[in-house]
Each structure stands twice: as C-alpha cells, then as structure tokens.
Amino acid sequence: FLGLTALSASAATEMPPLPDVTGDKVQADGDFKIKFSIGTTESGAQYRGLEYFEKIVEQRSDGNIQVDLFPVAQLGDDREATSALQAGTLEMTMPSTSPLVNMFPQFAVFDLPFLFPQPEMADAVLDGEIGQQMLEDASSQGLVAIGWGENGYRQLTNSQHPVEKPEDLDGLKIRTMENDLHLDIWRTLGANPTPMSFAELFTALEQGVVDGQENPWITIESSKFNEVQDYATETNHVYTPFITLVSARFWDRLPEDYQALVRDAATKMGDYQREVSRTLNDQIKQDLKDSGMQITELSPEQVKVFQDQLEPVYEDWRDQIGGELIDDIREQVQQAQEQ
Ligand code: KDG
C-alpha cells in the first residue's frame, strides 16, 4: 500500500496531563484496597479517568485507600466484573449501561438510536433528576451506583466496504454489545448482528468471525480496531454512558467519610472523562484517517435516512422501557434544542 507503514494512531495523540487534586484530606479509620476493573485499554479516555480517580482517592485518604487499576477485562468483561462486585470479590467497575439492561431495564433508554443530538443533552439528563434516580435504582442487587462517565457516540467500522446508507449493511456481520435493543437496531438496518462481550471483540474482528463493530473513535483507536478494520462511518447512532459501580459488600465496610470521598472522586472522574473524550474525539478521528482508515462522514440528509429507518425501534421498545421516561427525555432534548 504505497510502501508506507501505517503510523500508530496513539503515537499522534497524547492524553492531557492529569489535573491536580483539590479538596481536603479525609481522616477515617482503616486501610482499604480498591481493585477497579474495566474492559477498555490503558490508552483510552476511560482509563485516563480511572487514573484521576486513583490519584484523588489515594492523595485525599493519605494512602489509606489504595486503588489498583485493571484494564482490558483482566478481571472479567462488563457482566463478569459486575457479578464479581455482587459476590464481593472485586470492589469497582465501570461498564457500559447496555450489557446491564437485564438487571436494570430502564438503562435501555440510552440504547435508543439518535436520542441525544448533543453530548451536553446527555449530561443534562444523566446529571439531572432522571440520571440521579437511575443511580439510586441501580444501587441494589449487591451494587452501589455512584456516578456516570462517558463512553460516547458510537461509530461503525467494518472490514468489507464503505457504508453510506442502510443498504450497504446488507448481510454485514456486526458485533453488538449484549443488548437486545442494539440487535434490533442492526437487524432493522438490514445487517446481521451478533452480541458479544467487548473482551472478545478484537479477536473476533481479526479472525473475521464478524465483519464490523461500533464504538466511539477513542475506543476504536485505543483498542487498535483500525488495524483490522479498513472502513468506518461516522454514524453517531447511539450515545452510551458508563456507570461507576461499587460492590455493596465493600461499600458497607467503608467509613462514611470515605464513602463521601469515593463518591466525590467518582463524580470528578466522570466529568474529566467527558472532557478528555470530547477534547480528543476529532483529533483521534483524524489520527485514524492518517493511519489509513477510510472514514465516511455522512451529510445530515444521509444521517436522516438511518434515523427514519430506525424510528420504529422507539415504538417497539416503548412499553419495555417506559413511555413516560422516553417522553421526558425527548422533551428535555427538544427544549434544549430550542434554546
Ligand atoms: O470498559 C468498558 C468496556 O468493557 C465496554 O463497555 C466498551 O462500549 C463498550 C463495548 O462495546 O462493549
């Protein structure tokens, strides 16, 4: 290919330095260890957020809480890590909400296609009453949900050909998260979706078990999917949040002052992840182009074709998710758009 070796994307884009820790030291009795597991790699925005969390908690607890980070699903994929929290064998994880809808059906609202036209609208919902209520509701079944983070807008990649319109997806094998609404989206568009955990994804792409997948630019780059996927389409079809979960067994042993510290650090981590992911998004898209990926950017009219084809998904899932919740969010989004 022109005799050029593709530049590694991560070589081009650097993570911003971690912010300084603010806030007083917190005194409480006991020494604690937090093993914090995620599925994405050390070079992603999610991990950068975790590093900030570690720095805040360790500095402000004066080393009494030690945080150890485990990326790339070393301690299990999203569902396995969540089960480990319930069993009390792992202290923290930060999965996408999508593979957890079997436990928390309302999370499926975030899987609805093209729900949030701007990331700030997702922030308003997650940080507002709806998001806070969801954290409370998810603080059950052996888990304590203490904050949101940003996974981001998902983009389609594949190994076969450029995708500009739904017909181009005909028969393409697309990996989705383990979530029925995502399966519905890709079936409705004419693709052939297969659910799979993130931990299995690179190998599945490499071996051609699936032709494509969808994830934010930053994940495509940090997981090196561009090395096994030549084509991408900037679809922005779903905005997925991350949710910060703690094992209830661990939480109940933590002195209240430390609980407050961990909660505060989780909020700061989430805000920082949003900032990193948004700052780097376009830059990383450019790095991916520079590395040889062919990226199709859709016009608003082309996006509308996908959107219109997916509108029935809203009706199909209305009862299961709750019509009132969907209407509330759509109304908030509408109001924000009019401002
Ligand atoms: O750390 C999070 C990952 O495990 C996963 O949730 C990323 O969006 C993701 C996916 O596609 O599974």
Give domain status of residue 12, yes or no.
Answer: no
**pLDDT, position 225:** 98
Query: pLDDT (tens digit, 9 = 90+) per residue, 87-99?
Result: 999 999 999 999 9
Does residue 63 sit in the same domain as residue 118?
Answer: yes
**pLDDT, position 2:** 40
Beta strands in 185-335 (DSSP E): 192-195, 212-215, 231-234, 239-247, 294-297
**Residue 231 CB–ligand 1 contact under 6 Å:** no
Which atom in ligand 1 lies closest to the alpha carbon of residue 73? 4
Query: pLDDT (tens digit, 9 = 90+) per residue, 293-334?
Result: 999 999 999 999 999 999 999 999 999 999 999 999 999 999
Q: What's the total number of domains in the chain?
A: 2
Does residue 328 sit in the same domain as residue 307?
Answer: yes
**Residue 71 CB–ligand 1 contact under 6 Å:** no
Does residue 141 sit in the same domain as residue 255?
Answer: yes
**Residue 54 CB–ligand 1 contact under 6 Å:** no
The pLDDT-based confidence of 336 (bands split at 50, 70, 90) is: confident
Give domain status of residue 5, yes or no.
Answer: no
**pLDDT, position 12:** 67
Which of 177, 210, 221 has most ligand 1 atoms within 8 Å of CB, for mutation? Answer: 177
**Residue 152 CB–ligand 1 contact under 6 Å:** no
Does residue 258 sit in the same domain as residue 132?
Answer: yes
Which atom in ligand 1 lies closest to the alpha carbon of residue 77? 4
**pLDDT, position 337:** 86
The pLDDT-based confidence of 182 (bands split at 50, 70, 90) is: very high
Give domain status of residue 93, yes or no.
Answer: yes
Tokens 């495509």 sit on residue: 220
Give domain status of residue 8, yes or no.
Answer: no
CATH number, domain of 120, equals 3.40.190.170
Does residue 272 sit in the same domain as residue 303?
Answer: no
The pLDDT-based confidence of 283 (bands split at 50, 70, 90) is: very high
**pLDDT, position 185:** 98
**pLDDT, position 5:** 42
Residue nearest to atom 2 of ligand 1 (CA): 39
**pLDDT, position 11:** 53
Give domain status of residue 119, yes or no.
Answer: yes
**pLDDT, position 1:** 39
Query: pLDDT (tens digit, 9 = 90+) per residue, 19-68?
Result: 999 999 999 999 999 999 999 999 999 999 999 999 999 999 999 999 99
Task: Assess: ipTM above 0.90.
Answer: yes
Report which of 185, 154, 187 is spatially closest to residue 172, judged by C-alpha positions.
187
Query: pLDDT (tens digit, 9 = 90+) per residue, 197-254?
Result: 999 999 999 999 999 999 999 999 999 999 999 999 999 999 999 999 999 999 999 9
Does residue 50 sit in the same domain as residue 77?
Answer: yes
Does residue 86 sit in the same domain as residue 234?
Answer: no
**pLDDT, position 300:** 97
Does residue 70 sit in the same domain as residue 40?
Answer: yes
Does residue 133 sit in the same domain as residue 110?
Answer: yes
Give domain status of residue 182, yes or no.
Answer: yes
Residue 4 in this model has a pLDDT that exceeds 50: no
Does residue 216 sit in the same domain as residue 128?
Answer: no
Q: In what order do the strands lie in the sheet with 92-93?
A: 65-70, 32-37, 92-93, 239-247, 143-153
Does residue 179 sit in the same domain as residue 122?
Answer: no
With beta carbons less than 8 A apart as the criterion, state whether 185 and 310 touch. Answer: yes
Across the chain, what does the average pLDDT equal?
Answer: 95
**Interval 116-125 mean pLDDT:** 96
**Interval 97-117 mean pLDDT:** 97
**pLDDT, position 10:** 47
- Please give the residue range of the domain that contains residue 178: 155-238+288-338
Which atom in ligand 1 lies closest to the alpha carbon of residue 197? 12
Give domain status of residue 16, yes or no.
Answer: no
Give domain status of residue 17, yes or no.
Answer: no
The pLDDT-based confidence of 13 (bands split at 50, 70, 90) is: confident
Which atom in ligand 1 lies closest to the alpha carbon of residue 240? 8
Does residue 171 sit in the same domain as residue 305?
Answer: yes
Residue nearest to atom 4 of ligand 1 (CA): 39
With beta carbons less than 8 A apart as the criterion, state whether 206 and 108 touch. Answer: no
